[in-house]
Amino acid sequence: MAERIRQACTTVANHLRRRQRRPPFTPFQDRPAPDPDGLPPDKILEKEWKERWHRERAKARARRPQRSITAAEQNPSFHSTGKIVRLHESLMKHESAALIQMRTEKIGLRKFLFYRQVPDVDSPMCECWEGTDDHYHVILDCPTFAQLRPIHLPVAPLRDRRDLRTALDNPKLAPLLVQWMLRTGRLQQFSLATELKERWEEEAAADPTQD
């Protein structure tokens, strides 16, 4: 692309030199300022084209619609590096990845996949058909996990989405929520890692001397 621009600039510059061997007289105050870099005409033209291209690109970017802010990004503490590190300190890699998905709401459940037009996902609704399939619904409302919820979710009652977002911002509560979410099996991409962790924990409990 750059080579084509350079060739085109050279051709235009040669054409202008042939047509303007004797340029008309212009008053001193109307003459263009000399190029500060002392470039030849073809390089000057190339420089002007590049500057124009950058200006047009900047205008096009300014016209683009800004992406929407996710719920996690609306919380100022999300931008605190120290707070984020504390959220992930006690988690394994797959749990940390799941927490990131839950906080950014870009998660492998039907609602997110449907609106991203993933093939074979024809509806954003949960299998229970009582709400859209996201982690808010699974943790707060889905009747499929009504019995699992009070037993394996040792978190103070969560009334709504705001409570859940606050809990996901808490270094003590966030790991509990992530581990409960993985235990439901709804995030299938983490199923193998979750199964391996449970197996390791069982083996460690059976053999306390094992490292």
Residue 141, domain member (yes or no): yes
Residue 114, domain member (yes or no): yes
Residue 8, domain member (yes or no): no
Residue 38, domain member (yes or no): no
Residue 11, domain member (yes or no): no
Domain count, the chain: 1
CA angle 183, 193, 96 (to 5 degrees): 80
Residue 180, domain member (yes or no): yes
State pLDDT tens for residues 6-17: 777 788 777 777
Asked if pLDDT for residue 66 goes beyond 60, the answer is no
Residue 55, domain member (yes or no): no
State mean pLDDT over 168-179. Answer: 88
- CB-facing half-sphere around the CA of 15: CA atoms within 13 A: 7
Query: What is the pLDDT, as a whole number, of residue 208?
Result: 64
Asked if pLDDT for residue 176 goes beyond 80, the answer is yes
Distance of CA 52 to the CA centre of its chain: 31
Using the structure block, give the residue that is written with the tokens 């009582």.
130
Note down the domain range covering 81.
Answer: 69-187
State pLDDT tens for residues 130-150: 889 999 999 888 999 887 777
> Whole-number mean pLDDT of the chain?
78
Residue 153, domain member (yes or no): yes
